[in-house]
Structure 1
Amino acid sequence: MSLHDDAVLVLKSYEGQEELRQAYLDHLAAQPDGMWKACESGHLTASALVIDPSRGRVLLTLHRKLRMWLQMGGHCEPQDATLAEAALREATEESGISGLTLVPGGPVTLDRHPIPAPCHWHLDVQYAALAPAGAVEQISEESLDLRWFTYDEVADVSDGSVLRLVAAARARLKV
């Protein structure tokens, strides 16, 4: 099965955000290359919010290009067999934390946002990942900084998309 096929299956089984979910499916139906950065009309991305539920906090990255506090994530790569694998790979690479595990149940939310040219849209499929006990983060070349924030502190540093992701992840985890 291709990554494109996996994305279609993931989105078909995703419950909620019906209009946005359908927009993602329509995009994939119209764009055979809709998984890849080269698709200039937009492409799917995969991200994961790294959570330490025992301490009530999330790890955010100060994105080097956007200069915003965001969850870990990015473009799908040819070696990614599934969206979940892409999200976990991105979270591991950008956080420097090995042993992350995705929260069961598939994506926790979807977020479509405009990006600078030459592409127009990121269609982000957002997961949540649990940090192992004693996890120590390490800044990657894609980040200016990494920092743990309590759930309540996220509103002071990030935008609405991250707040929605934190809320959806907390609801999934019941924390």
Structure 2
Amino acid sequence: MHVTVGALLVRDEAEILLIEHRAYGITLQPGGHLEPTVTTLVDAALRELAAETGLDPGAVFPASQTPVYVEYGRVPARPE
């Protein structure tokens, strides 16, 4: 299975942080692939948020420790 996570960062209940996805060229929430060393989906989402935005993950407070949305399916592997 292909597993990715995303972090929807909301500030002051009115602003949402979105970034331009490098590969797709569209605006999305920060996110990416799970790494073998990360043990929870929330930790993975916080890691991706920090990696893609430079935000300090210690300054972010998850609204939930469980995923808000889960979607799964088979994705073909890249040729490389």
What is the TM-score of this pair, normalised by structure 2? Answer: 0.78
Structure 2, unaligned runs of 5 or more: none
Tell me the C-alpha RMSD between the 2 structures: 2.3
Q: In structure 1, the residue corresponding to 2:48 is in which secondary structure?
A: helix
Q: CA deviation at 1:112?
A: 4.5
The structure with the largest strand share of the pair is 1
What is residue 62 of structure 1 aligned with on the other side?
A: 20
Number of corresponding residues: 77
Q: Say if 2:34 is the partner of 1:76.
A: yes
Contact 1:73–1:90 (CA under 8 A) maintained in structure 2? yes
Structure 1, unaligned runs of 5 or more: 1-41, 120-175
CA distance in 2, matches of 1:116, 1:69: 23
What is residue 47 of structure 2 aligned with on the other side?
A: 89
Provide the identity percentage.
36
Q: CA deviation at 1:96?
A: 1.2
What is residue 67 of structure 2 aligned with on the other side?
A: 107
Contact 1:88–1:101 (CA under 8 A) maintained in structure 2? no
What is the TM-score of this pair, normalised by structure 1? Answer: 0.39
The structure with the largest helix share of the pair is 1
Q: Which structure would you say has the larger RCO, counting Cα contacts within 8 Å and 6 or more residues apart?
A: 2
CA distance in 1, matches of 2:77, 2:2: 13
Deviation per CA, 1:25-64: give whole Å up to 9, x if none.
Answer: xxxxxxxxxxxxxxxxx41111111111x15010001011
